[in-house]
Amino acid sequence: NKMQLESILKGKVNFFAYPYGERSFYNETSLSIVKDNFKFAFSNFPGLIHNDSNHYELPRFIVRDWDLSIFKNKLLNFFNHK
């Protein structure tokens, strides 16, 4: 699939997002495959990215099809996350 995307896009695909990317949905084997093929990968647990973040388990915030008021509230909470 990576090669197909690169062919369609006529460029490198360096980023990967784990489907359902909670830590329980991937393991050392899948991490190894991702490390061999991508420069960065995004998980599905909240958090901010820092200089020492693992490039293959970068956190991300889930965004749903929320109305604007809910999205604004969620966005504020994302960055108050500890």
Express each pLDDT in 16-59 by its tens digit. 998 887 888 888 999 999 999 999 999 988 888 999 999 999 99
Averaged over 61-77, what is the pLDDT? 89
Averaged over 56-78, what is the pLDDT? 90
Would you give the end-to-end CA distance of the chain in angstroms? 36
Residue 78 has pLDDT above 90, yes or no: no
E-strand ranges in 1-82 read 15-17, 40-42
- Does an H or E element contain 71, and which? helix 68-78
| pTM exceeds 0.85 for this model | no
Question: In the prediction, which pLDDT does 74 show?
Answer: 87
Question: In the prediction, which pLDDT does 81 show?
Answer: 54
